[in-house]
C-alpha cells in the first residue's frame, strides 16, 4: 500500500481528471488505488480537511467529485498541462492588465516544476519579446511554442508547414533559421530568416506545424532593426526596413474617459484631460484608415490634427452622408 501522502496525491489526481457529474464511485477509487472503500472514505475526509471541496453525489450512480470551494487549494498538473499554463502566463505577463499577477504566478510555477519541465520553460523565458500585447488573438499549441523556443535557443534550422493568412508569410513547407519568438496583441510570432527566399519573414505560431528532425546549427544573422519588437511591429505595419512608425500619425481629443479609451487604443498613447475627455495619439496605414479608427470610439472629436487627418474625416463624413440618403429599393 502507498504511503498516506502519496495516496492522497493519487486520489486528488483521479478526482481532477473526471468531469462526469456523478464522479467516481467509492469502489472505483478503491480499485484504482488498491485500497479498501473504508480507506477511500478516510482519505476523502483528509482531503476535505486540507481544503479540497470534495462533494458526495447521492444515488445509485453517485460517488465523489471535486467541486468549487471558497479558496484555491494546491492543484496537480500533467506535464503538458504545466507547459500550457506557463505559456499562457508568459503571454499574460507581457503588458496585459494582469501582468504583475501573471508574473508572480509564473515565478511560483517555476519554483515547483521538476527539472525536465523547468528547463523547457526557461528556454521559453529567454526567447520571448513582447511589444505591447493586448487581449485576444489566437492561442498556439503550447508544445509548438516550446519546440520553436528550443530551436531558437539551440540555433538549429527548422522545417515546418505554414498555413498562411492575411498580413503574414504563407505556404509550406518552409526552411528557416529561427531568430526569435515574440508576442504582439495576444498572438505569438516566429521571426526567422527564410532560407529559400533569402529574406527575413514572420510566421504566426498558431499556423506553424514543425517537421522533424531539425536541421544543422547556424550562425545567427543580424536583424535589420534596433530590436525584435521594432522589427516585428514594422513588418506587421508593412515597412520593409523594420521601422515601427506608422506611415500616417495624428491626434484628437475624444469625449470619453481615458480609462474607457485605453483598452482599445492598441499601441496609441492616451492622455487624460479630465473626467470625460482624453487625448489620443495614434497611427494607421492611411489618413482614411486613421479617420475611421477615430470614429469607432463613437464620441465627439475635437482638435483633430494634422490637416491631412481633418481632410480624411471630411471625406469620410461625405461618404457616410451619401450612404445614409434613401435610395431605390
Does residue 123 form part of some domain? Answer: yes
Does residue 71 form part of some domain? Answer: no
Does residue 194 form part of some domain? Answer: yes
Does residue 105 form part of some domain? Answer: yes
85 and 232 share one domain: yes
232 and 139 share one domain: yes
Query: How confident is the model at residue 147, as a pLDDT?
Result: 87
Q: How far is CA 10 from the centre of its chain?
A: 31
Question: 23: which residues sit within 8 A by CB, 6+ positions away?
Answer: 15, 55, 57, 62, 63, 64, 65
Burial readout 288-326 (b: 16 or more C-beta within 10 A, e: otherwise): bebbebbeebebebeebeeeebbebbeebeeeeeeeeee
Residue (of 265, 116, 134) closest to 187 by Cα position: 134
Give whichever of 104-108, 287-291, 322-326 has the largest mean pLDDT: 287-291
Confidence of residue 63 (pLDDT cuts 50, 70, 90): confident
Q: Which of 17-21, 123-127, 216-220, 266-270 has the lowest mean pLDDT?
A: 123-127
Give whichever of 9-13, 95-99, 108-112, 204-208 has the largest mean pLDDT: 204-208
320 and 227 share one domain: no
Distance between CA 82 and CA 107 in Å, rounded?
13
Does residue 13 form part of some domain? Answer: yes
Tell which wins on pLDDT, 212 or 169: 212
Counting the structural domains of the chain, the total is: 3
84 and 59 share one domain: no
pLDDT above 60 (res 131): no
Q: Which CATH number is 43's domain given?
A: 1.10.10.10
228 and 106 share one domain: yes
Query: How confident is the model at residue 175, as a pLDDT?
Result: 94
114 and 214 share one domain: yes
What is the pTM for the complete model shown?
Answer: 0.50
pLDDT above 80 (res 74): no
Indicate the DSSP class of residue 318: H
Query: How confident is the model at residue 103, as a pLDDT?
Result: 66
59 and 83 share one domain: no
Indicate the DSSP class of residue 206: G
Last residue of a domain, one of 236, 270, 303: 236
As a residue count, the chain comes to 329
Confidence of residue 257 (pLDDT cuts 50, 70, 90): confident
Which residue range(s) make up the domain with 42? Answer: 4-66
Q: Which residue has the cell 489620443?
A: 280
Tell which wins on pLDDT, 5 or 197: 197
Query: How confident is the model at residue 69, as a pLDDT?
Result: 60
The answer to whether residues 190 and 251 touch, using CB atoms and an 8 Å cutoff, is no
Q: What average pLDDT does the chain have?
A: 79
Confidence of residue 111 (pLDDT cuts 50, 70, 90): low
The mean per-residue pLDDT over the stretch 76-96 comes to 65
283 and 217 share one domain: no
pLDDT above 50 (res 70): no
Query: How confident is the model at residue 199, as a pLDDT?
Result: 93
Does residue 74 form part of some domain? Answer: no
144 and 226 share one domain: yes
CA torsion, ordered 59, 60, 65, 70, to nearest 10 deg: 10
Does residue 116 form part of some domain? Answer: yes
The torsion angles phi and psi of 295, rounded to 5 degrees, stand at -65, -25
232 and 318 share one domain: no
109 and 229 share one domain: yes
Does residue 110 form part of some domain? Answer: yes
221 and 255 share one domain: no
Confidence of residue 56 (pLDDT cuts 50, 70, 90): confident
Amino acid at each position: 500500500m502507498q504511503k498516506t501522502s502519496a495516496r492522497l496525491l493519487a486520489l486528488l489526481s483521479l478526482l481532477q481528471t473526471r468531469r462526469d457529474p456523478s464522479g467516481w464511485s467509492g469502489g472505483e477509487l478503491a480499485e484504482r488505488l488498491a485500497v479498501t472503500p473504508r480507506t477511500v472514505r478516510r482519505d476523502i475526509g483528509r482531503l476535505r480537511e486540507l481544503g479540497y471541496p470534495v462533494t458526495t453525489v447521492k444515488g445509485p450512480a453517485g460517488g465523489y467529485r471535486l467541486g468549487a470551494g471558497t479558496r484555491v487549494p494546491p492543484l496537480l498538473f500533467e506535464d503538458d498541462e504545466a507547459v500550457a499554463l506557463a505559456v499562457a502566463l508568459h503571454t499574460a505577463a507581457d503588458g496585459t492588465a494582469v501582468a504583475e499577477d501573471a508574473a508572480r504566478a509564473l515565478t511560483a510555477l517555476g519554483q515547483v516544476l521538476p527539472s525536465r519541465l523547468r528547463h523547457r520553460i526557461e528556454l521559453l523565458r529567454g526567447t520571448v519579446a513582447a511589444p505591447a500585447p493586448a487581449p485576444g488573438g489566437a492561442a498556439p499549441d503550447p508544445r509548438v511554442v516550446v519546440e520553436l523556443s528550443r530551436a531558437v535557443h539551440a540555433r538549429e534550422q527548422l522545417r515546418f508547414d505554414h498555413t498562411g493568412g492575411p498580413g503574414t508569410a504563407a505556404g509550406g513547407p518552409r526552411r528557416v533559421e529561427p531568430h526569435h519568438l515574440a508576442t504582439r496583441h495576444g498572438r505569438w510570432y516566429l521571426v526567422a530568416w527564410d532560407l529559400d527566399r533569402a529574406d527575413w519573414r514572420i510566421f504566426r505560431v498558431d499556423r506553424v506545424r514543425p517537421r522533424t528532425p531539425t536541421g544543422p546549427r547556424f550562425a545567427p544573422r543580424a536583424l535589420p532593426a534596433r530590436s525584435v519588437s521594432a522589427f516585428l511591429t514594422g513588418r506587421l505595419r508593412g515597412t520593409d526596413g523594420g521601422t515601427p512608425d506608422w506611415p500616417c500619425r495624428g491626434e484628437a481629443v475624444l469625449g470619453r474617459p481615458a480609462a474607457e479609451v485605453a483598452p482599445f487604443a492598441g499601441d496609441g498613447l492616451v492622455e487624460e484631460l479630465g473626467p470625460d475627455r482624453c487625448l489620443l495619439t495614434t497611427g494607421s496605414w492611411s489618413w482614411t484608415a486613421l479617420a475611421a479608427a477615430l470614429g469607432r470610439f463613437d464620441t465627439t472629436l475635437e482638435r483633430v490634427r494634422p490637416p491631412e487627418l481633418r481632410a480624411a474625416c471630411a471625406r469620410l463624413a461625405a461618404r457616410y452622408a451619401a450612404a445614409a440618403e434613401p435610395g431605390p429599393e
